[in-house]
Amino acid sequence: MQQPIPFYKEEINSLNTLLIALKKRLLITRVLRLLAFLTISFSAYIAITKNNLFFIASVIALIAFVYLVTKHLRLKQTKNLLEAKLTINKTEIAVLNGTFSDLESGKEFTNPEHYFSNDIDLFGVGSFFQYINRTATNEGKKLLATILTSNDINSIEEKQKITQELASKVKWRQHFTAVASLISTKTAIPVIVKWVHSYEQKLPSFLALFSYVFSAISIVLIGLLSFAIIPFSILLIWFVIGLVTTAFFFKNIQELATETTKAKETFNQYHQLLAQIENEKFTNSTLKKQQAKIQQENKKASTIFKEFSRKLDAFDQRNNIIIAVVGNGLFLWDIRNTIKIEKWITTYKSTVEEWFNVVSFFDAQNSLANFVFNKPQYIFPTINNEKSVLNAVNLGHPLLNTTKRIDNDFVIDNEAFFIVTGANMAGKSTFLRAVSLAIVMSNTGLPICAEKVKYNPVKLITSMRTSDSLSDDESYFYAELKRLKFIVNEIKTENYFIILDEILKGTNSMDKAIGSKKFIEKLNKSNSTGIIATHDVSLCELSSEYTTIKNYYFDAEIINNELHFDYKMKNGVCKNMNASFLLKKMEIV
């Protein structure tokens, strides 16, 4: 696999070259389009005033003009796509250099009651989601958030294979994301799906045949009139009948028009994304299953969406005054198109949601694969059923700058608990979040920020950041008790990796020590595993009572009246606390 930054730089150079050439072509088409327009005007004027033969030149110029307009639009679409890809590659370089604050933070997914997401900064500014998210559709973004918070420990090796295969398809992923980024939908996908599922036919079935018979009679009458076989009045009466028939069903047709206006652009754009998935070759079984969902027996989902988009475009022509009058009077334009749309909905209403879900699946998985490509130095954990839950060499936090990050070896056995003490700012909280993210990333199928990792899959649950609630008239202490109660209830039915940071902070020291000791003893009797960070060194005495409880610490040293941290986890109990030193150093006391 290529190294990310050199690849992105090469792509930027290539795209810039293509854009320069494309802009020249756009300029040429503008000039030619202007010349064609002037030729049309001049030829038409000469034909009208002097020589009828110039009508031929005018028609040829008109054909050229239409071709150039179409060509210009296509070139402009290509330019937009190339610019989107250019932005993608520039963004990746910026992220790899530590700048990602402009990306979507996913703050809407913040949930203080979730098992772990709020405690480990999974969402929000500077979060792991903000770092990893490259989804270009709203539903893809929601699915990515769901994947990261699912706590799903099943099929991890299969998840790894999915991200690895997609990681290798860099150009395909970028093209997919570029196309998706150009989508501008007026209505959310769930709303469209609900509309399609619940749609009730607005026009009676007999109108399908009637509209075609009516149109055929109109053509016959026009033919007869052109040969002077019938008077114009007969065609006029027939024309009025057509308008009256359309007017009779106008209310129902207008209701459909209101609904399709919201959905038209979505189907027009999504067929392009479906086509990208259909035309790519995948080897992974899960990817192939997703691809198979959009493969019909005789038609591709992209073709079906594209055809529906054209039907919606044709229906939208009713806003043209000529179509509204002539089309409805002679060919029942609105009725015919309404029937075509209703037939499509009836045929595909049961599969539309699944096709949209396939697009969301690839959009979300592409973000995970992008992370894999960007981090070739990270390691996919080896999944096993060994005694240790997590065995990592040089485990680090993936969002910290590599030049400043201090990594730690970490091995914890199943049903063991580590009590971690340490001075303020010594690295306890960062370490807890590094371990938490390692578990989340492993369960998601991502590589870990470490040199070597063995992992026995486990679900994660945490209590590291509790807050009071004025709106619920809830104290800090009661909020923490509710969180601990939530953890106790969860571990009754399943094994978890529990991470706690300074429990029972909202009560006095003696009460806190007694309560904390009893709670740790309760956790130790469960089948769970975990880490408990605390400043209360008295809790470390539990290690002498229980062989499954071990003590570790992060230290700080005072050298030349300055604090120094090595951010390394050591075996034992912390002896050096720094709160008093800092209070004096900052002249607070």
In whole angstroms, what is the distance from residue 567 CA to residue 571 CA?
A: 13
What residues are paired with 295 via a beta bridge?
300
Strand, coil or helix: 268? helix
**pLDDT attached to residue 582:** 47
DSSP 384: -
Of the listed ranges 73-87, 294-308, 379-393, the least confidently predicted one is 294-308
Q: What is the pLDDT of residue 23?
A: 92
The pLDDT of residue 41 is 83
Quick check: 185 pLDDT over 80? no
> Of residues 299 and 124, which shows the higher confidence score?
124
CA nearest neighbour of 499 among 118, 109, 155: 118
**pLDDT (0 to 100) of residue 298:** 80
* CB 123 within 8 Å of CB 107: yes
Prediction pTM value: 0.89
Most confident stretch, 4-13, 22-31, 179-188, 527-536 = 4-13
**Average pLDDT estimate for 70-75:** 88
Give the mean pLDDT of the chain: 89
What confidence tier does 577 reach under pLDDT thresholds 50, 70, 90?
low
Alpha carbon distance 276, 259 (integer Å): 27
Q: Considering the domain delimited by 382-585, tell me its CATH architecture.
A: 3-Layer(aba) Sandwich (3.40)
Q: What is the DSSP letter of 199?
A: -
- Indicate whether 588 pLDDT > 60: no
Which whole number is the average pLDDT over 577-588? 51
- Whether the Cβ atoms of residue 19 and residue 83 lie closer than 8 Å to each other: yes
> What's the pLDDT score for residue 555?
84
pLDDT for 312-325, tens place per residue?
A: 888 888 877 877 88
- 369 three-state secondary structure: helix
Q: Which distant-in-sequence residues (6+ apart) come within 8 Å of 524 by Cβ? A: 417, 542, 546, 548, 549
Per the model's pLDDT, the better-predicted residue between 374 and 428 turns out to be 374
What is the C-alpha to C-alpha distance for residues 284 and 370, in angstroms, rounded to an integer? 17
DSSP lists the bridge partners of residue 565 as: 556
Over range 516-539, report the average pLDDT. Answer: 92
Give per-residue pLDDT as tens, 203-244.
998 998 999 999 999 999 988 887 888 888 998 999 999 999
| Most confident among 69-78, 204-213, 308-317, 366-375 (mean pLDDT) | 366-375
Distances (CA, A) of 32 to 17, 26, 39: 23, 10, 10
335-348 pLDDT, tens digit per residue, is: 999 999 999 999 99
User: Is the model's pLDDT at 589 over the cut of 50?
Assistant: no
In whole angstroms, what is the distance from residue 244 CA to residue 351 CA? 37
Q: 235-264: per-residue pLDDT in tens?
A: 899 999 999 999 999 999 998 888 888 888
Predicted confidence (pLDDT) at residue 578 exceeds the cutoff of 70: no
Is the pLDDT assigned to residue 425 strictly greater than 90?
no
Percentage above 90 pLDDT, the chain: 64
Residue 504: pLDDT band by 50, 70, 90 thresholds?
confident
Residue 109 burial (10 A CB sphere; 0-12, 13-18, 19+): buried
Alpha-carbon distance of 146 to 142, in angstroms, equals: 6
Angle between helices 170-181 and 250-279 (to 10 degrees): 160
pLDDT for res 70: 86
Q: How confident is the model at residue 396 (pLDDT cuts 50, 70, 90)?
A: very high
Task: Give percent of the chain with pLDDT exceeding 70.
Answer: 93
- How is the chain split into domains, by residue range? 1-99, 189-364, 382-585
Half-sphere exposure for 228 (CA within 13 Å, toward CB): 0
Task: Judge whether residue 108 has pLDDT over 60.
Answer: yes
Q: What is the per-residue burial (b if ≥16 Cβ within 10 Å, else e) of 555-567?
A: bbeeeeeebebeb
pLDDT for 85 equals 97
Confidence of residue 434 (pLDDT cuts 50, 70, 90): very high
- If one compares 53 and 274, the residue with the highest pLDDT of the two is 274
Does residue 349 carry a pLDDT above 50? yes
The pLDDT assigned to 473 comes to: 44
pLDDT at 61 over 90: no
* CB-CB contact of 453 with 407 (8 Å): no
pLDDT level of residue 583 (50, 70, 90 thresholds) = very low
State pLDDT tens for residues 447-486.
Answer: 999 999 999 999 999 998 765 444 454 677 788 889 999 9
